[in-house]
Amino acid sequence: MGSEGVFRCKYCGAPLEVSPETIVAICNYCGRENWIKGSGRVLIVRPASENEALEKARRLVGESFRNTVKTPLQVFIPYYVATAIADADYEAKTMVTVERCVSKRKGNTTVRECYTRVIPVYVKGYLAGFGNRYSVPARKGVGGKTVEALGKYLLRSEIQLVELASFKFEREKASYRNILAVELDKSDVNELILDQHLDELRKRVIEEIRREARVKASIHGSPVSVSIVWKRITPLNIRIEVSDPILTPAYYVRYGEQGEYKILLSGFDLRELVIEKPVSRIERALWGIAATMSSGLAGGIAARLLMSQTVHQGSFIALSLAIAIMAGGGYGAYYSIRKMFRPVGVSIKV
Ligand SMILES: [Zn+2]
């Protein structure tokens, strides 16, 4: 039982994949918009041809795999591109640790003596026009490295957008084409971007507070560290603009005897975004060594930090650092072990 047979394209009668989340489904055959909820406009990035994608993939895999490259699958993933701008009014109380060194003569040698002090610093300011651009896949529960890579690349690219209503697909290629339906509307995206941008704004303001605190404390010595004791960050004048959904093409190409390796190319300028490659036995052995080393090494550093005698304020930092290193080492080991057993190397180029 599928939704096939229930929903058909109202222009050509081809079956449409429609879920309860679908807002607009685009027909794989005729490429026209079928709005299930509401109405609007869909944009598309003009795709490069399938032949060009095939040629590019053949060049990428090299002579020994050239003849194993399968027919590229063209996929269109809908993204929204949003621009967000906000200001922030902020103030903070910080404690800046500064170090000061003096040279003293003892007999006929010079001794350098350093001591640290903690200086309370108050910071207040206004950050204007903090802006950022985001790409959001217009799908629910869609994520993963490929979708993320294509979204990032879309933001960085010079692209020409065409209205889908005036765009013509090649009908005979429909079996190699997959156009994903739009499942988020502009107000959903607006909310997502608001959260994301406020997070970014907060991070930016905290950086600014630390920077200003260092500058203010530097008259007492060279700043070593800043801790924020208390802060207020008030976002103001938040402006968000969300595009129409943009169908962004990508080519998935399989290669290898069984088609076991994948390549993801951007579908408009054929940039390689994700490449899987066979990993040699020697490389796998090296990953095994890396796994052993990263777990052992991280354990060693963490233990030393945990045992080191520190002043009571610093001990918390040492402890959290130790935990972070252990977690990081654990991850490094996990990553290396996975690499060791998996005969595929993945590199992400964005
Ligand atoms: Zn159709």
Partners of 251 in the β-ladder = 74, 265
Q: Which tokens in the block code for residue 25? A: 């489904």
Partners of 105 in the β-ladder = 110
- For ligand 1, the distance from its centroid to the CA atom of residue 31, given in whole angstroms, is 6
Q: Among candidates 59, 65, 125, which has minimal Cα distance to 257?
A: 65
Please provide the size of the chain in residues. 350
- For ligand 1, the distance from its centroid to the CA atom of residue 34, given in whole angstroms, is 8
pLDDT tens for each residue of the chain, 350 residues long: 444 447 899 998 988 989 999 999 999 888 899 999 999 999 999 999 989 999 999 999 989 899 999 999 999 999 999 999 999 999 999 999 999 998 888 888 888 889 999 999 999 999 999 999 999 999 887 777 888 889 999 999 988 899 999 998 876 666 778 899 999 999 999 999 999 999 999 999 999 999 999 999 999 999 999 999 999 999 999 999 999 999 999 999 999 988 889 999 999 999 999 888 887 666 666 666 666 666 655 555 555 554 544 434 444 444 555 555 555 555 555 555 555 445 556 665 65
- For ligand 1, the distance from its centroid to the CA atom of residue 47, given in whole angstroms, is 19
- DSSP helix/strand/coil, 101: strand
- For ligand 1, the distance from its centroid to the CA atom of residue 171, given in whole angstroms, is 10
Residue 316 · residue 250 · CB < 8 Å? no
pTM: 0.72
Question: How many Å apart are CA 63 and CA 51, to the nearest integer?
Answer: 18
- DSSP helix/strand/coil, 177: strand
- For ligand 1, the distance from its centroid to the CA atom of residue 56, given in whole angstroms, is 30
Question: How many Å apart are CA 246 and CA 21, to the nearest integer?
Answer: 18
| Ion ligand 1: residue ranges with CB closer than 5 A | 9, 11-12, 14, 27, 29-30
- For ligand 1, the distance from its centroid to the CA atom of residue 140, given in whole angstroms, is 23
- For ligand 1, the distance from its centroid to the CA atom of residue 4, given in whole angstroms, is 13
- For ligand 1, the distance from its centroid to the CA atom of residue 16, given in whole angstroms, is 8
Classify burial at 62, counting beta carbons within 10 Å of its beta carbon; exposed 0-12, middle 13-18, buried 19 or more: exposed
**Which residues 6+ apart lie within 8 Å of 276 measured at CB?**
261, 262, 263, 344, 345, 346
Give me the DSSP letters along 46-95: PPPPHHHHHHHHHHHH-TTTGGGPPPPEEEEEEEEEEEEEEEEEEEEEEE
Question: How many Å apart are CA 340 and CA 334, to the nearest integer?
Answer: 10
Q: Report, in angstroms and rounded to the nearest whole number, the Rg of the chain calculated over CA atoms.
A: 28
- For ligand 1, the distance from its centroid to the CA atom of residue 55, given in whole angstroms, is 29
Residue 22 · residue 3 · CB < 8 Å? no
Find tokens 């003293």 and name the residue: 104
- For ligand 1, the distance from its centroid to the CA atom of residue 69, given in whole angstroms, is 30
Q: Give Dmax (Cα) for the chain.
A: 98
- For ligand 1, the distance from its centroid to the CA atom of residue 296, given in whole angstroms, is 59
Q: Among candidates 186, 249, 180, 185, which has minimal Cα distance to 27?
A: 180
- For ligand 1, the distance from its centroid to the CA atom of residue 191, given in whole angstroms, is 32
pLDDT tens-digit profile of 325-341?
555 555 555 555 555 44
pLDDT tens-digit profile of 1-49?
444 447 899 998 988 989 999 999 999 888 899 999 999 999 999 999 9
- For ligand 1, the distance from its centroid to the CA atom of residue 175, given in whole angstroms, is 13
**Which residues 6+ apart lie within 8 Å of 37 measured at CB?**
22, 23, 24, 185
Give, to the nearest 10 degrees, the angle between helix 281-307 and helix 312-341: 170
| HSE value, Cβ hemisphere, 13 Å, CA-based, for 116 | 11
- For ligand 1, the distance from its centroid to the CA atom of residue 148, given in whole angstroms, is 29
- For ligand 1, the distance from its centroid to the CA atom of residue 150, given in whole angstroms, is 26
- For ligand 1, the distance from its centroid to the CA atom of residue 206, given in whole angstroms, is 51
Spacing of C-alpha 285 from chain mean position: 30
